[in-house]
Amino acid sequence: MSVQTDTGRQATAAPTASAAPAIELRGISKAFGPVQANKDISISVAKGSIHGIIGENGAGKSTLMSILYGFYKADAGHILINGQEVHIADSQEAISAGIGMVFQHFKLVENFTVLENVILGAEDGGLLKPSLAKARKLLKQLSDEYELSVDPDALIEDLSVGHQQRVEILKALYRQADILILDEPTGVLTPAEADHLFRILKGLKEQGKTIILITHKLREIMEITDTVSVMRRGEMTATVKTHETSPEQLAELMVGRKVLLRVDKKPATPGKPVVEVENLRVIDEQGVERLKGISLEVREGEILGICGVAGNGQTELLEVLGGYVNGTGTVRMNGEEIDLSGKHSNGQTRRARGIAHVPEDRHDEGLILEFQAWENMVFGYHHAPEYQKNALLMDNAGIKAMTQASMDKFDVRPPNPKLEAKSFSGGNQQKIVLAREIERNPDLLLVGQPTRGVDIGAIEFIHQQIVALRDEGKAILLVSVELDEILSLSDRIVVMFDGQIMGERLPAETNEGELGLMMAGITDTNTNGEKAQ
């Protein structure tokens, strides 16, 4: 604990300091090698306000917050808390300066109770009992005050994601945080849980806490923040009052050009079924049943959207159809049954049957980050005869030429086939995967989270490509946790919960509220029951 932070704490108590902004950053710069992650960033966040920071992936939002939380040291610039300059060298000092952070990926001990997690690292002495008692009292008080109710004795692993997030917030409050930073907090929540979170945040704000919300979702910014800062390529391009701006303007500030926020598409003209799934079940390695008898079909020229909170079986549905995991049940592709668990059930044989797969996780599955773009462009299809020079060697020169053509067509930037996949931005990586899968002219395209971690500009392009493939009469199975994406792209929507199908809706006849309830497992009486089991 440094002297500076101590004075910072005293300033909090002093009434004269209340006019000073809770947090002020002046000229923060940070470079990682050649990459300038933050360039001369200055913001000022008023006490008791919610400030949004929005920007595309790689814009430097997380770096900035990591500097504030003491994970990185800024190359230049000053941090002021309540008008006092502080030097934050590690997270301990950030905590004593009154900063609390809720990470995108929670930092909780799974097999500890809520209470144990809350006091972890902030125990008052060698014995746990007094700390636990104190924490229990405080937790009770906080949960009454802010709708932050969590069972203090529950194990973390038994809690839903939304509750785990509350524990993270409680942890910060227990450490007497006055400034709360939340990094993409709604990524894993259902719409209802997100609404609840926003109520909590509003309650905290009323109590004088300052909140910084990092997100890439324009809707959340509009809904909850007082002021918003836009970041682009390491720079702060604008700070505006939220009620004086619009989503369109923010999107333009993020990307640097006008963006079409909705998908332009003609009504679908579905043909005969391409894939028919009956009673599909998947049991994972731990013996847990992840898919509990799914039946659906996707027809030519339509996009079937699967929505649900992450972890309710959508991943397994894609994986079993893509040949990644084994399952039981019946899957017919163009009328012919597919072997779901035999020795030859794998990605290669699926591709041979006309199934292409854009996996949810392009870093761990869709791409080999250390491989160059041309090597990735045949990944999974590397046995195809047209990529071989002779019986022994691959036609590397031919593959490079093909890659160049694909990169030009899909507007991959930079269009350099010899660049390693990890050097491309998220959107361009996704375009590489998409180009590979679409260019093989599949009958069925499985797409998981097509725009996760993809910048707005590329989202537009990716959506157009998917719709174009549909218009060619191909079947598309789309899985996404982004409700907006499901609603705007799909021709039919199926909601999954707990490995089962909760029901089917047409995008024009439903809304986020209804889908959100279904995603949470609540079936209303109108649901057509035969689909629900």
Partner 1 sequence: MNKMPKWADAVLIPLISILLAFFFSGLVIWAIGKDPVVAIKTMVQGAFGSTSGISYTLYYATNFIFTGLAVAVAYHARLFNIGGEGQAMLGGLGVTLVCLAIPWPHWTLALPAAMIGGALFGAGWAFIPAWLQAKRGSHIVITTIMFNYIGAALLGYLLTKVLKVKGSMLTESARFPEGAHLPNFSEIFAPIGINFSPNAPANMAFFVALLCTFAFWILIWKTRLGYEIRAYGQSETAAKYAGIAPARIVIIAMLISGALAGLMAINNVMGEAERLIDNAVEGAGFIGIAVALMGRNHPIGILLASILFGFLYQGGAELSFWESIPRELVVVIQALVIMFTGALDNMVRMPLEKLFVALNRKKEA
273 binds partner 1 (CB under 8 A): no
334 vs 349, beta carbon nearer partner 1:
349
Residue 24 token pair? 């002020």
How remote is the C-alpha of 404 from its chain's centroid? 30
d(CA 171, CA 27): 30
Minimum separation from the CB atom of position 337 to partner 1 (A)? 19
Among 46, 394, 419, 532, binds partner 1 (CB under 8 A): 394
Say whether 437 sits in a helix, a strand or coil: helix
Angle between helices 128-146 and 161-174 in degrees, nearest 10 = 110
Among 15, 33, 125, 287, binds partner 1 (CB under 8 A): 33
Task: Say if residues 64 and 53 touch (Cβ distance below 8 Å).
Answer: yes
413 binds partner 1 (CB under 8 A): no
Among 73, 272, 383, 413, binds partner 1 (CB under 8 A): 383
- Given the structure tokens 């794998």, which residue do they identify? 346
Query: Which of left, alpha, beta for 182 (phi over 0: left; psi -120 to 50: alpha)?
Result: beta
8 vs 347, beta carbon nearer partner 1:
347
Minimum separation from the CB atom of position 157 to partner 1 (A)? 23
Minimum separation from the CB atom of position 326 to partner 1 (A)? 12
CB atoms within 10 A of CB 477: 27
Minimum separation from the CB atom of position 31 to partner 1 (A)? 9
How many CA atoms, within 13 angstroms, populate the side-chain half-sphere of residue 517? 12
Task: Say if residues 148 and 142 touch (Cβ distance below 8 Å).
Answer: yes
Please, which residues have CB within 8 angstroms of residue 179's CB and are 6 or more apart in sequence? 22, 23, 45, 81, 98, 99, 100, 209, 210, 211, 212
382 binds partner 1 (CB under 8 A): yes
d(CA 36, CA 235): 9
68 vs 444, beta carbon nearer partner 1:
444
Angle between helices 396-409 and 426-439 in degrees, nearest 10 = 110
Say whether 372 sits in a helix, a strand or coil: strand
Among 348, 416, 464, 488, binds partner 1 (CB under 8 A): 348
Among 234, 347, 426, 503, binds partner 1 (CB under 8 A): 347
Question: Which contiguous run of DSSP H or E holds residue 95?
Answer: helix 91-96
282 binds partner 1 (CB under 8 A): no
Amino acid letter, residue 447: V
348 vs 510, beta carbon nearer partner 1:
348
238 binds partner 1 (CB under 8 A): no
Range in contact with partner 1 (rule: CB under 8 A) among 135-143, 232-240, 305-313, 374-382: 374-382
Of 231, 162, 155, 183, nearest to 66 by C-alpha is 183
Among 85, 90, 157, 370, binds partner 1 (CB under 8 A): 370
Minimum separation from the CB atom of position 73 to partner 1 (A)? 16
User: What DSSP string runs through 332-363?
Assistant: EETTEE--SSSTT-SHHHHHHTTEEEE-S-II
61 binds partner 1 (CB under 8 A): no
Please, which residues have CB within 8 angstroms of residue 341's CB and are 6 or more apart in sequence? 326, 327, 328
396 binds partner 1 (CB under 8 A): yes
Among 368, 405, 419, 532, binds partner 1 (CB under 8 A): 368
328 vs 346, beta carbon nearer partner 1:
346
347 vs 516, beta carbon nearer partner 1:
347
58 binds partner 1 (CB under 8 A): no
In Å, what is the CA distance from 348 to each residue of 382, 383, 439, 446? Answer: 9, 9, 16, 15
Question: Which contiguous run of DSSP H or E holds residue 11?
Answer: helix 3-13
Window 305-334: residues binding partner 1 (CB under 8 A) = 322-324
36 binds partner 1 (CB under 8 A): no
CB atoms within 10 A of CB 161: 15
Minimum separation from the CB atom of position 145 to partner 1 (A)? 44
37 vs 97, beta carbon nearer partner 1:
37
479 binds partner 1 (CB under 8 A): no
Minimum separation from the CB atom of position 455 to partner 1 (A)? 21
Peptide bond into 414 cis (omega under 30): yes
442 binds partner 1 (CB under 8 A): no
154 vs 369, beta carbon nearer partner 1:
369
Among 371, 405, 439, 514, binds partner 1 (CB under 8 A): 371
432 binds partner 1 (CB under 8 A): no
142 vs 373, beta carbon nearer partner 1:
373
351 binds partner 1 (CB under 8 A): yes
324 vs 461, beta carbon nearer partner 1:
324
Q: With CB under 8 A as the rule, give the number of residues binding partner 1.
A: 32
372 binds partner 1 (CB under 8 A): no
Among 346, 372, 464, 523, binds partner 1 (CB under 8 A): 346
d(CA 364, CA 407): 21
d(CA 151, CA 167): 10
419 binds partner 1 (CB under 8 A): no
375 binds partner 1 (CB under 8 A): yes
User: Interface with partner 1 by CB under 8 A: which residues?
Assistant: 33-34, 322-324, 346-351, 357, 359, 361, 364-371, 375, 379-380, 382-383, 388, 392-394, 396
